[in-house]
Amino acid sequence: MLSCEAAGMGQSTSHQIHSDACRTEVPLAVVEEILLNLPAEHVVLNCRLVCQEWKELVDSASHWRERCRREGFELREASRIPNDWRLFYFLSKKRRNLLKNPRAEEKLNQWKLVETGGQGWKIEENFAPLPNDTNDKCFATSYGMCLKEQLIDLKKEGYSPAFMDQLQPDIKISDWYAPRWDCGSFYRIYVELLDRKKKPISKFEPDPVYFEQWNDQQWCQMTHVFKDYGPGVRFIRFTHGGQDTQYWAGWYGIRVINSGVEICPAAEK
């Protein structure tokens, strides 16, 4: 099989390949099989520049449909076929958390403090690790309502209006919360899918979760998946927080950490 270097991994090599390809007239079916076994980023940035035939091959929908098939990125609904298979491939492959600073590593940066009741928000040492995690910090609330939020601009994150309207990919919400063992508290979350004018299209707002005093102080996870929410979603507003229920001075309210908002174009494996 052709090596990465021989397939256009460098600018000078690309020019050499251009002339070699013209001389040897390698069948395009063979070329495509080689390209499908190379990293997608290198194929786009380097191999695509070799010659016009390779460019057309790399730009074809069939090439990216085949990559999706081989790597298991399947459509959630057969009727929702993307206009841009390359975009579908990369957004499926590079699925990520769209919330900034979800683990309190930057203190309260990136978060808008909506309510700061009692003594407001505080960053504290984590009393117990989350399952399969070693995060050592968490956000702590006080004796008055504490809420913080982030507004996610989907277009700025790479999800175009056409992509969102056509595919309506699942939007997965997750959040971790826990009480102190010695004080009652409650947890609250609401997440909104917004249109271009920031008006709600869909909303997730479960009832608050209450904890009694002298509880087992365990981390709990809240999850939700938005499906079939219709066209027009341009922003996501994530808001969460809570407070203690005994009005003790300090930070005896609910703790939150490791929040997540993920766009999921492909079906879950």
> Considering the entire predicted model, what is its pTM?
0.86
Q: Is residue 98 part of a domain?
A: no
Residues 60 and 192 in one domain: no
Question: pLDDT tens digit string along 166-187?
Answer: 999 999 999 999 999 999 999 9
Residues spanned by the domain of 77: 5-93
CATH number at residue 132: 2.60.120.260
8 Å CB contact between 112 and 151: yes
Q: Is residue 269 part of a domain?
A: no
Secondary element (H or E) of residue 13: helix 11-24
Both tokens assigned to 110: 């990136």
How many domains does the chain divide into?
Answer: 2
Residues 79 and 178 in one domain: no
Residues 65 and 17 in one domain: yes
Mark which of 39, 65, 93 sits at the end of a domain.
Answer: 93
Q: Would you say how long the chain is, in residues?
A: 269
Secondary element (H or E) of residue 175: strand 170-178
Residues 45 and 175 in one domain: no
Residues 223 and 124 in one domain: yes
Secondary element (H or E) of residue 71: helix 61-71
Residues 124 and 165 in one domain: yes
The residue type at 112: K
Residue predicted with more confidence, 15 or 52: 52
Question: pLDDT tens digit string along 43-66?
Answer: 999 999 988 899 999 999 999 999
What are phi and psi for residue 24, nearest 5 degrees? -90, -20
Average pLDDT over residues 121-146: 90
* Arithmetic mean of pLDDT over the chain: 90
- Ramachandran class of 92: left when φ > 0, alpha when ψ lies in -120 to 50, beta otherwise: alpha
